[in-house]
Every structure is written in structure tokens, then in C-alpha cells.
Structure 1
Amino acid sequence: MTNPLFQQAREAVAYANSISTGSEQGDQQEAVMKAKNALSSAFANCTDAERAQLRELQQTLTNM
């Protein structure tokens, strides 16, 4: 069973990234804000392995 908060964070970062690259239309600032909130929620309820992946996702947001 996967952690739903972790999954939401991954999806939110992927969506923000797709807006950033022009693959999808949308408000990039809003997408990044939602992704940051999703990451914050996921950090509180995840395993160490998931935390490592979340840090990578956080870095992806920082690089946008």
C-alpha cells in the first residue's frame, strides 16, 4: 500500500514541472505553491526512503 500523501506530492510536483516546461497550461506559481504544500504534508507522514525521494522532488521545485 502506498502512502497517499506521498503520491499526491509526486503528482503535484509532476504537474508543476509540466507547466514549467510548457507541456500543460496553468498558473505555475499556484502549481508550485500547491506542490510545496503537498510536500510539507507528505514529509510529516512518510518513511525514511520516501523522505529521500521527497527531498529530490523538493529540489526539482527549487530548480524551476
Structure 2
Amino acid sequence: MSNPLFRQARQAVNSAKQAAAEGGNTEASVSKAKNALSSAYANSNVDEQRQLRTLQDELNTL
């Protein structure tokens, strides 16, 4: 995908998952990921939005 906000959201979710796995500051990384997801969702197409919902579900499990 060429949407930079989508890429940032995906990276932020991956960072939050990594922080949770390593016992790091999960609260801050989850908050950052939520903000990134929100921005990306507002500026994405339907296919990207579907993938972002999947990322949101992953984030909700942390």
C-alpha cells in the first residue's frame, strides 16, 4: 500500500505488540498505535480500512 498513514499504523501496532511481549511500556505504545490507527482509518480506502480493523482487533487483545 502506498498510504504512509497506513504504514505508520501497522508499524505502531507491531511496536505495541513487541512492547507487550517484552514487558515494556505497553500503555504508551498502545496509545500511540490507537492514534495512528485513527488517522490512517480516516485517510484510507475500503481495503485498507478492512486491514486496519484487523490491526485494531490485534491491538485490543493486548
State the TM-score, normalizing by the size of structure 2. Answer: 0.94
1:32 aligned counterpart, secondary structure: helix
State the TM-score, normalizing by the size of structure 1. Answer: 0.91
Q: What pairs up with 1:44-63 in 2 under 5 angstroms?
A: 44-63=42-61
Larger proportion of helix: 2
CA distance in 2, matches of 1:11, 1:26: 16
The gaps in structure 2 that reach 5 residues or longer are none
Q: CA RMSD in A?
A: 1.2
Aligned match of 1:38: 36
CA distance in 2, matches of 1:21, 1:59: 17
Identity of aligned residues (%): 50
The number of residue pairs the alignment matches comes to 62
CA distance in 1, matches of 2:2, 2:32: 20
Aligned match of 2:13: 13
The 4+ residue runs of structure 1 with deviation greater than 3 A are none
The gaps in structure 1 that reach 5 residues or longer are none
